[in-house]
Amino acid sequence: MTTTSEVFPISDLEKSCPNRKAKELFRLWRRAGRDPEANYDAFIPYSPELLLMCKPTKDKPMSNLLFCGRDSMATRIFGEDWARTSGKNPNVFAPDYGEVVGRSQAFSLETLEPVYDFVSSHVGQEPMVYERLLLPVKTVAGLTFLVCYSMPLELPDRVSFGSSDEPQCDESPQKTYCSNPHPAADA
């Protein structure tokens, strides 16, 4: 099983994404522009569902995750203990997951452009499919971070870890998307 990521034009988010939070987060980001003096306080109410990331590194695929909101997709799947651990276990994901999702992250950080993509992978043998919005934010100090909002389409149930650190999925996948996913998800 491999991981795939398909990037869509950001206009697709505005036109066809049924997720109102994603659209609102994009509007807030666009309103702030690329101004490092911008006030990103408007993101605070959404922080429980967001991830904050720095630039990914190839040798440590999950090392760029700085903050994982308690209601984020990652926390829902892997639990709060995993979300709070500074060294995320990359064995949870498909072997190519970090590299594939890292490409969109690196692009967004380098260009300071938002990315709206569709990611398909697996945890253990269970599918993990979601849409993702990456929003680059630059600080007054010149540091650039990514705010990430994930919109699940199909997720494994909560993952637990055995003594071997291998992921073990509970029962069957959960389908959590409330509306129609992006048209490419049906392809």
Give the residue-averaged pLDDT of 54-66: 75
Element (H, E) at 104: helix 97-111
Give the start-to-end residue ranges of the domains of the chain: 4-186
Answer positive or negative: Cα dihedral of 33, 64, 154, 108. positive
pLDDT in tens, 141-152: 888 899 999 998
Q: Residue 24 above 90 pLDDT? A: yes
Residue 150: the pLDDT is 93
* Distance between CA atoms of residues 127 and 120, nearest Å: 7
Answer positive or negative: Cα dihedral of 158, 163, 165, 166. negative
Residue whose pair of structure tokens reads 């309103």 in the numeric block: 31
Q: Residue 120 above 80 pLDDT? A: yes
pTM for the full predicted model: 0.80
Q: Do residues 143 and 136 make contact, with C-beta atoms less than 8 angstroms apart? A: no
What are the residues whose beta carbons fall under 8 Å from the beta carbon of 82, sequence distance 6 or more? 74, 75, 88, 89, 92, 159, 161
Higher pLDDT, 149 or 90: 149
* Distance between CA atoms of residues 93 and 62, nearest Å: 10
Q: Do residues 120 and 173 make contact, with C-beta atoms less than 8 angstroms apart? A: no
Q: Residue 158 above 70 pLDDT? A: no
Give the residue-averaged pLDDT of 176-181: 36
Q: Do residues 75 and 132 make contact, with C-beta atoms less than 8 angstroms apart? A: no
Q: Say if domain 4-186 classifies as CATH 3.30.450.20.
A: yes
How high is the mean pLDDT of the chain?
Answer: 78
